[in-house]
Chains A and B, each alone.
Chain A
Amino acid sequence: MTENIQSVHNNIYKPAIMKIVGRHDEAPGVKTLKLEFQDPDDHEQFKNNFRTGMFGLYGVYGEGESTFCVASPETRKEYIECTFRQSGRVTSALADADIGDLITFRGPYGNRFPIENFQGKNLLFVSGGIALPPTRSVIWSCLDQREKFGKVTIVYGARTVADLVYKHELEEWQNRADVDLVLTVDPGGESPDWKNKVGFVPTVLEDIAPSPENCIAVICGPPIMIKFTLISLKKLGFEEQNVYTTLENRMKCGVGKCGRCNVGSVYVCKEGPVFTAAEVSCMPAADL
């Protein structure tokens, strides 16, 4: 026998209902959904709490929930954007969902990029493949208040030209005088008309050699890219406490109870997902 005596907001596992108001193909298998809250209370809660870097659990009833970042910036809280690669059960259901369909969202959870501490500094964003979405949230959060920050450099790479996500925004950034965008694709991934760089992200980064002087680096990518990018940044003279990254691990609850997302003693869902390279280097590498 069960009784319905609990008020909605006490059930920490109950998600908010979101309506899909936009849907965009980014790359083969990669989609962006634009979501609007259906319940004004849920929206208010999100507006009060969301800061760039936080994540959520996106779900389709009958399939389950998946964890990914909020790809939209903290300067635009009327909606949520999420970008994901269709690869499992939940992401397939999300990819199948159409404009007007309802999905679920739990969050925002976790910590954030402390962008107020980045003010007056140069910003270097380094990102690879499907990892641009979390970086993009920070990029727009800063570009929407552009005057507060110094030089903005974005290094973004993907396996092939087709795999680059947010192609329309890359074009916009390329055309902006106040943003330096460096695009690259892995050797063999270029198309005949590709005019940008060819090479792995860490190599390209060392080529353009951004100055570590008064600069914050935000890096996000697959584990192998992060590993070598950290080495390149060190070579360039970046100090570990000025390098930020965001980790992702499998999660079920998102709120520190289900017991799986820890790297060593650190719970990615509660103490992360945003960490400095100094913090990451204290984690046991074998658990990453």
Chain B
Amino acid sequence: MTRILFSDKLDNCVTRWQSAGFTVIGPVTKDAFSSYTAVEHASDFDLGIVLPDRSLKELFFPQTEPMLRYTLKQQSINTEDFTPPSGKKLIFGVRPCDAAGLSIDDPLFGWDYKDEYWFQRRNNSVIVTIACTKADDFCLCTSLKLAPDSTTGSDILLRPLENNNGWHAEELTDRGREALLAIEEFLQEGSEPTAPMAVVPEMFDLDTCVAWLQNPENFESKFWKDISMRCIGCGSCTYLCPTCHCFDIQDEGDTYSGIRRKNWDSCSFALFTMHTSGHNPRSTQSARWRQRIMHKFNYFPGKFSVNSCSGCGRCSRQCPVDMGITETLQKISTLHS
């Protein structure tokens, strides 16, 4: 026996969660562009899309974030810490790949030095994921050993009903249990047939690719130049990626007062690694694309035992020159290591 949340009760749930102190967030399409956005009513959600254009990452690691305010007065410096808004968030209609993205980055923000900007938001959020019944040609979760109904990173997993009129609700964590408890009166005990999961074909054999990447001889393979020749270094793939975490620290202000910010940065940019001397360890676009692939499938798993890719496919879907992780790994999987 499981519990069912019927679609017509969703607005009651949203209101209930809001009165329990949650800011309710979900996929919203505005001007033909979709992102995870705060809503007032359930009718604001756009639950019909494969996945939002922008990933979930920005709710935990914003594109720009103030860290501290400084004020200089004669012989003293005053600083004041900014901290993320402490309010609770419930994010509804998250895709499994986006939810997995969060748990992929947890060890990175936590190893040794703990980034409270990330963790305060993580601890204040409930992730309500809806399993995918639709996929497009760019989805590749199965190639990353995830699935349209993966539970990684989620507090609640909702499985759509066959009649498309609601979801089976599965609580995965204590936080998920509390969120369901708050809407208990709108849930129905029962069991209804669920819709078939989206079919996401496997695009490449990940283990073959990883073995090729781990072979030091392939670091300077001609392959990297060939595959990245058309990369224009725009950085879109890194900004849209649910797991790309690189950032810059910049001061906004003058000598007397201002704000120190953490801003998204990208390994696609030439300045990213440029030394003051002019020496640049990754001076070509192919070296930078190699870094991105190596980081995701060789370096990151070497440190944290998980690939830094959850298979959302945004890098390929929205690349202006039609590159992406899928194409690169597909080609690698055909090379002989």
Which of B37-45, B73-81, B182-190, B327-335 touches A?
B73-81
B220, CB-defined interface residue at 8 Å: yes
Neighbour of A257 across the interface among B67, B115, B255, B298, CB < 8 A: B115
Chain B residues closer than 8 Å to A249, beta-carbon distance? 273, 275, 281
Known: A256-B112, A286-B220. A61 touches B77 (CB 8 A): yes
User: Are A264's CB and B75's CB within 8 A?
Assistant: no
Known: A250-B274, A287-B281. A4 touches B251 (CB 8 A): no
Per-residue interface assignment for chain A, residues 53 to 88, with 1 indicating a CB less than 8 Å from any chain B CB and 0 otherwise: 000000011111110000000000000000000011
Neighbour of B219 across the interface among A6, A14, A286, CB < 8 A: A286
Per-residue interface assignment for chain A, residues 18 to 47, with 1 indicating a CB less than 8 Å from any chain B CB and 0 otherwise: 000000000000000000000000000000
Report the bound CA distance from A4 to B220 in whole Å: 48
B109, CB-defined interface residue at 8 Å: yes
B60, CB-defined interface residue at 8 Å: no
Q: How large is the interface on A (under 10, 10 to 19, 20 to 34, 35 or more residues)?
A: 35 or more
A208, CB-defined interface residue at 8 Å: no
Chain B residues 247 to 269 lying within 8 A of chain A, measured CB to CB, are 247-251, 253-256, 258, 260, 262, 265, 267
User: Are B255's CB and A62's CB within 8 A?
Assistant: yes
User: Are A14's CB and B79's CB within 8 A?
Assistant: yes
User: Are A61's CB and B281's CB within 8 A?
Assistant: no
Per-residue interface assignment for chain B, residues 75 to 91, with 1 indicating a CB less than 8 Å from any chain A CB and 0 otherwise: 11101111111100000
Closest to A270 in B: B112
Known: A61-B77, A88-B276. A258 touches B249 (CB 8 A): yes
A13, CB-defined interface residue at 8 Å: yes
A260, CB-defined interface residue at 8 Å: yes
User: Are A257's CB and B247's CB within 8 A?
Assistant: yes
Chain A residues closer than 8 Å to B212, beta-carbon distance? none
User: Are A61's CB and B255's CB within 8 A?
Assistant: yes
18 sampled A-B residue pairs with Cβ under 8 A: A2-B83, A3-B85, A6-B81, A10-B114, A11-B67, A14-B68, A14-B79, A91-B276, A223-B279, A252-B247, A258-B249, A259-B247, A259-B265, A265-B299, A284-B219, A286-B287, A287-B291, A288-B281
Return the 3 tightest CB-CB contacts between A and B, nearest first: A259-B246, A255-B113, A265-B299
